Amino acid sequence: MKVRIELDPSQDEVEIIIKTKEVTDEIQQILKIIEGGNVNQIVGVLNQQYYLLNLNDIYWFYTEERKVMAQTKKGSLEVKARLYELEEQLVAKHFARFSKSILANLGHVKSFEMSFSGSMCAHFSNGMKEYVSRKYVPLIKEALNIGGG
């Protein structure tokens, strides 16, 4: 495999061209990495130290004082991304929006409890709970294949 970088001052954005006889598994992997589909870790910041966090170790992301935080079993760490950016990247990794300020890892949810107000309460494997606002309940039901809008 050859890799070549051409610097072009007139270029407004990065353009990637792959020339190949056929699309192999290796090419598919490269495409996933380029498109950001191979994200399994994210950087978290705590006390000016940077930590690599595995997505499987994150219970949920939330906003607090205009910062995005990742809730893990070891505590909360700041993440240098916006919630909507994380949602776009992680929807295929079983993360789902619970509210304007919560993006949760469905892999850590033990159970959901419906409330009379139309919202849901999600009980996590760490013993904590978060609420799914009414607006997002149909999307969660769809993600879990439980229907009943």
Among 95, 37, 49, residue whose Cα is nearest residue 71: 95
- How far apart CA 57 and CA 70 sit, in angstroms, is 10
- Fold held by 41-143: OB fold (Dihydrolipoamide Acetyltransferase, E2P) (2.40.50)
pTM above 0.75, yes or no: no
SS3 per-residue string spanning 17-64: CCCCCCCCHHHHHHHHHHCCCCCCEEEEEECCEEEEEEHHHEEEEEEE
Q: What is the pLDDT of residue 58?
A: 96
Question: Are 101 and 83 spatial neighbours (Cβ–Cβ below 8 Å)?
Answer: yes
Q: What is the pLDDT along the chain (149 residues), one digit of tens a residue?
A: 787 888 889 988 878 888 889 988 787 777 766 766 556 888 899 998 889 899 999 999 999 999 999 999 889 999 999 999 999 888 778 899 999 999 999 999 999 998 888 899 999 999 999 999 999 999 898 888 876 55
| Domain coordinates in residue numbering, the chain | 41-143
Q: What is the pLDDT of residue 38?
A: 54
